[in-house]
Amino acid sequence: MEVRFEQYFREKRYLANVTPATIEWYRNSLRWLRTDTPTQDDLKDAVMRMREKKLKPTGVNSAIQALNTYTHWAYVGSDSKCGSGCTHPKLAHLKVPDTVMPTYTERQVRLLVTWKPKEKYRRRLHLLVLFLLDTGCRISEALGLHVSEIDIDNLLVTLDGKGRKQRVVPFSFELRKAIVRYLRDYERKPEHLLFANRSLTLLSRRNMLRNVRDLCRYLGFEPPARTLHAFRHTFAVNYLRRGGSVFHLQKVLGHSTLDMTRRYANLVTADLSAIHERVSLLSK
């Protein structure tokens, strides 16, 4: 990496106080640049090489966001937000197909919820599934959760989201019962991770993905695409189906803008058809 890149990472780390994960995101994105003072053509070249390597449009857009942030810093000399008056090299995001996000069906959710495991690690897996379905949190937020961050009395949990942003999310009585039983049976202390491995350290996301996929097949159905994140999509769609506000959903999901939440709020065709029947001027 060029010296200027390293200076950028240092400022992001020590002046902007971004997380190590965000620094790694910047590193991976800026590796596509062949110079630390990129021109407009250099940026276009980076994107074309990403596409040649078969990166998905969403992945390319993530990298473009990092590239634009870097060029603003490199040419403007500050870490302020890029505005309409900025003339430095920058790229527009690629158009992404507006596809319906994968979710679990009502039948699949019922199978997952009513599963009755007996063995310890299967019970841990079941509690994780219930937690994701009931709170809509990210898998990283669930796996990093400590027992002390769960307010059993008030049915609230404090989640550590992206960019060190914490938020408090409610959960149901049913989830509380499952958590209390699990804490009682396996003697989890406040400083312990709720979902921990045998050595009480952080579980692997990859292992949990494998376990959830195996569970879906064991229960008789194929797991949806983006298997773990599909729990979040399912939570969002059902939140709106049952009368929840998109503004409240934004807070629960931890999104900084409402536009981000709307991506999770795509209703399935059956919902749109049902709504149309109610509002159609031709309906009796």
Active site residue 56: no
Q: Residue 65's domain spans which residues?
A: 3-76
Looking at residue 248, its pLDDT comes to 87
Active site residue 138: yes
Q: Active site includes 186?
A: no
Instruction: Pick the last residue of a domain from 25, 59, 76.
Output: 76
19 and 123 part of one domain: no
Active site residue 232: yes
The bridge status of strand 166-170 relative to strand 150-151 is: unpaired
Question: Is 176 noted as a catalytic residue in this protein?
Answer: no
In the set 72, 188, 232, 233, the catalytic residue is 232
**Is 64 inside any structural domain?**
yes
31 with 119, same domain? no
Q: Which of 88, 167, 192, 255 is catalytic?
A: 255
Mean pLDDT value of segment 51-57: 94
Domain assignment of residue 81, yes or no: no
Chain segment 100-154, per-residue pLDDT in tens: 678 999 999 999 999 999 999 999 999 999 999 999 999 999 999 999 999 999 9
Pair 167, 254: CB distance under 8 Å: yes
Determine if the pTM surpasses 0.85.
no
Of 57, 78, 82, the C-alpha closest to 68 is 82
